[in-house]
Amino acid sequence: MIRISTIQDLQQEIASLRSRGGKIGFVPTMGALHEGHLSLVEACIQKGDHCVASIFVNPTQFNDPNDLRNYPRNPQRDCELLERSGCHVVFMPSEAEMYPEPDTRKFEFGEMGSVMEGKHRPGHFNGVAQIVTKLFDAVQADRAYFGQKDFQQLAIIKTLVAELHYPLEIVGCPIIREPDGLAMSSRNQLLSEEHRKAAPIIYQCLQEVQSRVGTCPVVEIEQYIESTINNHPLLNLEYFQIVERNTLRQVSTIIPENPLNACIAVFAGKVRLIDNVEIIL
């Protein structure tokens, strides 16, 4: 595996990979890798792509400076994991490489970008759009792989790619979970032992949502989630919504032909965890 830190060197290596035939697959990450990230690398390689991964903790998508400062970093371990997974190239740029000057671009996603994560993390998706477009321009991949745990982010990136006419296929990959159901996340490393024991309740609630859909009104499901999470002494609900899968519009009535996801954000102490499930009707 080749480690690269500049866009110029990256593009030279990608040109070399293309000359050997095959397509370029891209796995963007912020490091602190886990099995969820590695499943994206695996999906890329299974497609037969040359796998290019990036590790870059993007400052413009953090609306909380403490969150940025505390974000887990372990680049040496990350590189070892990527190499063992069969990744061909890892791009690890500096902040100066990606932002030689301030990025003042503004991206508008309408209602899709103003609900859930967009509502509770102002500016987050603008920062995401800034960095993914920079990375897409640098890598010029044929396919890019994203996890479905960041459900809203995946929907917004698909919209961004379509609106900007990138010749790029966005591949959404399934959530990878711990044995107790907790969605794998780099932030899980920050959980205390007590909060880690409590965190699987989030997925248990989402599973209960599935069992209640069609048997009781959406408002009762929302009330159940709020009371279950907030009655736990170590957990605090930030939001829970059942939304249309393609538009992210919140629904108050279940319509069988309308594809839906249940989305949730919960604080376990000071650590913010998100999750979602598809609603099977």
Tens of pLDDT, residue by residue over 204-213, are: 999 999 999 9
How high is the mean pLDDT of the chain?
A: 96
Residues 4-24: what's their mean pLDDT? 96
Which of 34, 37, 88, 195 is the catalytic position? 37
Confidence at 139, pLDDT banded by 50, 70, 90: very high
Distance CA 15, CA 19 (A): 6
Confidence at 170, pLDDT banded by 50, 70, 90: very high
**The total number of structural domains that make up the chain:** 2
Structural domain of 204: 186-275
Question: Do 154 and 73 share a structural domain?
Answer: yes
Residue 38 in domain: yes
Q: Choose the final residue of a domain: 151, 173, 195.
A: 173
Residue 280 in domain: no
Question: Do 267 and 149 share a structural domain?
Answer: no
Question: Do 165 and 233 share a structural domain?
Answer: no
97 in Cβ contact with 7 (< 8 Å):
yes
- What was the pLDDT predicted at 255? 83
Distance CA 169, CA 61 (A): 23
Residue 204 in domain: yes
Question: Do 139 and 52 share a structural domain?
Answer: yes
Query: Does residue 37 carry a catalytic annotation?
Result: yes
Residue 116 in domain: yes
Confidence at 258, pLDDT banded by 50, 70, 90: confident
Question: Do 148 and 51 share a structural domain?
Answer: yes
Question: Do 116 and 94 share a structural domain?
Answer: yes
Question: Do 253 and 144 share a structural domain?
Answer: no
Does the pLDDT of residue 162 top 90, yes or no?
Answer: yes
Give the CATH number of the domain where residue 90 resides: 3.40.50.620
Which segments of the chain does DSSP mark as H helices, in order? 7-19, 35-46, 65-70, 75-85, 95-98, 117-120, 124-139, 151-163, 193-198, 201-212, 218-230
End-to-end Cα separation, the chain, in angstroms:
44
Q: Choose the final residue of a domain: 143, 173, 203.
A: 173
Question: Do 139 and 198 share a structural domain?
Answer: no
Residue 135 in domain: yes
Question: Do 6 and 85 share a structural domain?
Answer: yes
Rg (CA), the chain: 19
Q: Which residues pair with residue 278 across a beta bridge?
A: 261
- What was the pLDDT predicted at 228? 98
Question: Do 227 and 163 share a structural domain?
Answer: no
Question: Do 155 and 70 share a structural domain?
Answer: yes
- What was the pLDDT predicted at 29? 98
Residue 179 in domain: no
Q: Which of the pair, 191 or 22, is modelled with greater confidence?
A: 191
Question: Do 20 and 142 share a structural domain?
Answer: yes
pTM: 0.96
Residue 247 in domain: yes
Q: Choose the final residue of a domain: 173, 195, 217.
A: 173
Residue 35 in domain: yes
Does the pLDDT of residue 214 top 90, yes or no?
Answer: no
178 in Cβ contact with 275 (< 8 Å):
no
Distance CA 267, CA 201 (A): 12
Give the CATH number of the domain where residue 254 resides: 3.30.1300.10
- What was the pLDDT predicted at 108? 93
